[in-house]
Amino acid sequence: MTTATIQILDPRPEQQTAERASAGRLPTLAGKTIGLLENRKYHSDNFLKELQTILQDDYAVDRVIYLQKFSFSAPCSDETIDELVAQCDAVVHGIAD
């Protein structure tokens, strides 16, 4: 009599990430600094540059900080995230194809 072994794999990630609440809504965009983070996918730059114009012309945003990720397939660098958090009232991460 032979015995077979069955290995059962758990598809869940090994570490569970903590859930975070959404940030509160800004009462106005006027006078705020908004970060635009481009992921370098096709047309994301076109979308975010148009959004930048709308934010400044129609919503009186004081300043826009436009940054790019190194690659759409890689996580954003800690330095880029830290820069956006330190300088911006809100951030838009634009993706496109």
Does the residue 69 lie in any domain?
Answer: yes
| Residues ≥6 apart with Cβ < 8 Å to 87 | 33, 35, 65
Q: Environment class of residue 34 by beta-carbon count within 10 Å: exposed (0-12), middle (13-18) or buried (19+)?
A: buried
Position 83 scores a pLDDT of 94
Position 41 scores a pLDDT of 86
Does the residue 17 lie in any domain?
Answer: no
Q: What is the DSSP string of 28-40?
A: --TT-EEEEEE--
Mean pLDDT rounded to a whole number for the chain = 89
What stretches in the chain show pLDDT beneath 70? 96
Q: What is the number of domains present in the chain? A: 1
Position 57 scores a pLDDT of 97
- Euclidean distance between the first and the last CA atom of the chain, given in angstroms as a whole number: 58
Does the residue 7 lie in any domain?
Answer: no
What range defines the domain where residue 56 resides? Answer: 33-94
